[in-house]
Structure 1
């Protein structure tokens, strides 16, 4: 194992290959940034069309479920801050097979997302430089993200910090500007004045009924995908026991401001039935605000969101593969770590996947359209595994006579099962809606492939490295 360079952050006590180079500032803003992405900037339009103003309820209910999932993950991460996060916990408390399936499903999901986002970077850059080849911007993005993620974990955290600031400022600016327009009573189309009355004046608050709200849940859930990254940072946090609770406890406020607040402002300024879905609702808001160069400002913001997603996915996949290799669920080569504490082999694979995937997506534009739907299934599957793993951890603690720590999941078993029931409802909605049913089918096929792979070869490696039933070190040993 490479030695620690002079002046470098301390190695992780649980894994001497990694360095604890993420400060509380980094982790808090990573948590902020993962809550704001293309799912909000562009994905909110179909959700609005599906449920009308009642999409606010969908975001609020889904947000509550997200918070409970994050508290369950946070309790495990504070108690045992390892780089593999929920994949490693599933291996330990539910068994090697659970760790194998959980880890590879999340890697697959993030691989799809990172390919889509690196391709989106080229589209956004071509807005300013039309006619330029897409491969130029894709290559530049991959080289930039590679340079950030292959040097030191602190560079990843610093980049996410500044990208998150851009997104947060953009959202807050839109909300403040929208409130000003509402107070002034300005009109979107010269006839309809801005105001809260638009939430009920166009078919009522729930124009599509309860069915619309339920169908919107599947869309809304996808918007929250990626927030699990905060758990993966635990293995390299300088102060996991302090930073993680601080970041996770801001989840309700983030959801209220960035999602619920944004939806209230958008549909107060632009009646929900005027949201075409052809453009981001934010385009219409910026146009309504009359901000000079509004398209350029929005393009910069969505470009920032895309680069942030590529950066976060690269980091997350690299750390997951690193941890999975330690559990026997991935090739041992992914345990290779540089002197700076970076699992460069795992990160290198992510960069290679981006190159191949982006090229395929460039020449075969629709090849990922169908496959990308599995991301929604992967999100709810990952959340289910987090909750089930939390129950497994609590049972193991009970057998050893341990009591929950200071950052325990509120409500204990009741909260776990209530949130799991909600996720089951979302899965049922995926099966019910013909447009999203394909996502469920793809997800089931993917799990079947993983199961076959496990019994054909991965099983013996998982059993060889099984840690099920082992109790983690005390929290103070990680500091």
Structure 2
């Protein structure tokens, strides 16, 4: 390196990110990531489209995403210098892949977090209609920024309690549903809670094959964030233990929280009686005679949206740090504060999230546009998941010795990767069958074109070439020590 202004210094200005996340944090982050607001608010519409087949849909999506998670887990543990998806994509596929994955994942969480902030304003006004529109956004951004800037442990604590609230709400729903079914509870409209409600109105697939396809369009969005546990690996105290434990429990959690809650709803209320415009969780608790059912579920969904905003701040700051480390983003964002948090990237995220305020005052048309942007973000998550699988295939080709010695091998290996990628192609086709989500596909294509043009300029810069050379050397350097549990 020279002393000129174009010289590139190592990205980790002070140290690597702090490993402040304990096993307790990682496990609850994994649960929280697997339970999205889509389950609470969007499952009514999914049920109206697919009927009882919604249970099958969630199982299928969860099944394939589990293998994506296992591929991600083996990749991250094959080299503990991988901090983000962009890291192993850049190292295994090429610098362009790190650029595309990193910026796409950053964009996913930025627009998701802004959409959640818009939703939070609506949830707050459910209780206090006179609250200024700008106030909830400012308070949430300020709280999340300050807690994330102090230490990564604070992020873990917030996610721990947010996830716990979601867990309690879903388990309560399952217990209430089981009691109502066992006692053959009769609703005011004359319906009886019974197991036969699952099949006595048109069977398991009352709307046929296209009903199932329509269900996939919405249900896949509910799993956005399931990969979030992967972004915590760099800051987990003992990733070789906590990451496999968190990923391995994903199937059980999907069966309990998704399948269990949906079965409870469908057993108590015939699927045709469920209002697609309302949360079936609200209707279920209201049937049970729970006072203030709407307020209870509103509180749960509010905390779920807070969790998503918190995850967005965490993920975007870490991804921007990683992009800067590879030379794919301005070097100013590669600095860490004294506790190992990429605080400059946090400032950027907080500033962008405040753009929610003009959106709130722009009117309904902007809110509708944000619905489209959120679907775009969800489609980009599918793109990121696909790139994780392609990275795994490249890993098996380039480093067969690492796979041979891996203690956490992906079941099915490359063959299963191909099967899951084929499923993602099916998801893309399913999304193309609906006009609104088809527009999202066009927007995603436009985003990738913009990234391609940007990459054509970035790849030619001397700073990117030098920084990426440093990055490759870092990825090849052996890990000097592990971080045991404390």
Which TM bucket (shorter chain)?
A: over 0.9
Secondary structure of 2:354's match? helix
2:29, 2:156 within 8 Å by CA — same for their partners in 1?
A: yes
TM-score, scaled to structure 1: 0.93
1:20 counterpart residue number: 19
Which residue is equivalent to 2:3? none
Task: Tell whether the 8 Å contact from 2:120 to 2:306 is kept in structure 1 after alignment.
Answer: yes
**Measured at CA, do residues 110 and 217 of structure 1 come closer, stay the same or move farther in structure 2, by a change above 3 Å?**
same
Match of 1:223 in 2: 222
Aligned residue in 1 for 2:393:
391
SS at match of 1:43: helix
Kept in 1, the 8 Å contact 2:36–2:225? The answer is: no
Change (3 A) 1:439 1:82: farther
1:87 aligns with 2:86: yes
2:382 equivalent in structure 1: 380
Task: Classify the secondary structure of the residue corresponding to 2:361.
Answer: helix
| Counterparts of 1:82 and 1:267, CA distance in 2 | 46
1:115 matched to which residue of 2? 114
Distance in 2 between residues matched to 1:210 and 1:364, nearest whole Å = 38
Write the deviation string for residues 135-194 of structure 1: whole angstroms up to 9, x where unpaired. 111111111111111110011101111111111011101111111001011123341101
Could you list the per-position Cα deviations for residues 2-42 of structure 1 after superposition, in whole angstroms to 9, with x for gaps in the alignment? xxxxxxxxxxx999231110001100000011112211111
Q: Name the counterpart of 1:431.
A: 432
- Does the 8 A contact of 1:391 with 1:413 survive in 2? yes
Whole-Å Cα distance in 2 between the matches of residues 219 and 249 of structure 1?
Answer: 25
Q: Secondary structure at the match of 1:18?
A: coil
Q: Which residue of 2 aligns with 1:254?
A: 253
**Following the alignment from structure 1 to structure 2, what is the Cα–Cα distance between the partners of residues 405 and 15?**
31
Rounded Cα–Cα distance in structure 1 between residues aligned with 2:154 and 2:16: 17
1:321/1:361 CA distance change after superposition, 3 Å? same
Looking at structure 2, the residues matched to 212 and 459 of structure 1 have their Cα atoms a distance apart, in angstroms, of 48
Secondary structure of 1:130's match?
coil
Q: TM-score, normalising length from structure 2?
A: 0.92
Report the Cα distance in structure 1 between the residues aligned to 2:289 and 2:24, rounded to whole angstroms.
Answer: 34
Q: CA deviation at 1:79?
A: 2.3
Distance (whole Å) between structure 2 residues aligned to residue 107 and residue 449 of structure 1: 15
Structural RMSD (CA): 2.0
- Is 1:441 aligned to 2:446, yes or no? no
Please name the residue that 1:3 is paired with. Answer: none
The equivalences for 1:5-404 within 5 A come to 16-82=15-81, 84-367=83-366, 368-398=370-400, 403-404=404-405
State whether residues 81 and 478 of structure 1, in contact with CA within 8 Å, keep that contact through their aligned partners in structure 2: no
**Cα distance between partner residues in 1 of 2:428 and 2:13:** 36
8 Å contact from structure 1 (residues 33, 163) kept in 2: yes
8 Å CA contact 1:97, 1:459 repeated in 2: no
Would the aligned equivalents of 2:333 and 2:342 in 1 still touch at CA under 8 Å? yes
CA distance in 2, matches of 1:476, 1:218: 45
State the shift of 1:435 in Å: 3.2
Shift of 1:385: 0.2
Deviation at 1:476, TM superposition (A): 5.8
Deviates more, 1:35-44 or 1:99-108: 35-44
Q: Note the C-alpha offset of 1:376.
A: 2.3
CA deviation after TM superposition for structure 1 residue 434, in Å: 2.5
Give distance in 1, aligned partners of 2:208 and 2:235.
Answer: 46
Q: Post-superposition shift, 1:468?
A: 5.8
8 Å contact kept, 1:222–1:379 = no
| Residue ranges of structure 1 left out of the alignment (5+ in a row) | 1-12
CA contact 1:106–1:382 (8 Å) conserved in 2: yes
Q: Structure 1 residues 32, 472: CA separation in 2 closer, same or farther (over 3 Å shift)?
A: farther
